[in-house]
Structure 1
Amino acid sequence: MSTYVSKEISAELDAARIASLKKSSRLRVEMGDNTYRILKLWKDGFAVEAETTPRLRGLVDIFDGANHLYQCLIVADEEDGGQMRYEFKRSTVAADKAPLDFYRAPDAPIALLGKDD
């Protein structure tokens, strides 16, 4: 039995795999005003569709729906099976508030109330 698969069948299988990943993924990468769907995300990088996404480079933001997850500095890695893979040079978890430059006690008051005269 032969394990040879023609180029046409291989291309159709890749297209079907990418379509399946696009339907199931809520992740997206934003670069400037442009948004692209992330097919896979792992600890050191992510993959997007190679055919519809231009080459990305530099600082990008990664979102899960409306939640901002990471701000990343990326470089292109390789194209494989219709997917373009990118690696993180730096990945910083996004926070919804500014970091404190001092220690805040867990039982500290939230606000001060004034006296009523």
Structure 2
Amino acid sequence: MEAMLPKNIQAGLDAARLDSMRKSSHLHVEADGAQHKVLRFWDTGFSLESATAPQLRGRVDLYDGAAHLCQCLIVAVAQEGDEMLFDFKRATRVAKTAALDFERARDAPAGLIGTDAPH
């Protein structure tokens, strides 16, 4: 059996839930120079607040605080209540180091010491 709440109480509960999600998340997406707080995140997508999120589509950057996590190609899927849901078409993790253009041997030395080093 489903309990029916008055509209003002339901609206207050929904606002409190949205505020709680907004405060608990460190993730945000950046698109066209604007930042949008991520409310929920899962393996195949994320959600933003529908009132403040534009109809994002295309490439966005996903951050955890200041750490750049990945570049994503996204598409808006649906709106559920106060949330706009987005799915990843592609999510490429950002590398911490530059890509190598050769294969590094497992037993390769970490560095070389020159002959003119002080003794």
TM tier relative to shorter chain: 0.7 to 0.9
Q: Corresponding residue for 1:15?
A: 15
Amino acid at match of 2:32: G
1:1-117 mapped onto 2 (5 Å cutoff): 3-116=3-116
Amino acid at match of 1:84: M
Deviation for aligned residue 1:31: 0.7
**Unmatched 5+ stretches in structure 1:** none
Amino acid at match of 2:97: K
After the TM superposition, which parts of structure 1 deviate over 6 Å for at least 4 consecutive aligned residues? Answer: none
Sequence identity percentage: 50
**Unmatched 5+ stretches in structure 2:** none
Q: Match of 1:23, SS?
A: helix
For 2:43 and 2:65, the matched residues in 1 are separated by 19
Amino acid at match of 1:29: V
Q: Match of 2:9, SS?
A: helix
Give the TM-score, by structure 1 length: 0.87
For 2:44 and 2:51, the matched residues in 1 are separated by 22
CA offsets 1:70-104 (integer angstroms, 9 cap, x no match) = 11000001111201100001111111222223211
Q: Match of 2:89, SS?
A: strand
How many corresponding residue pairs?
117
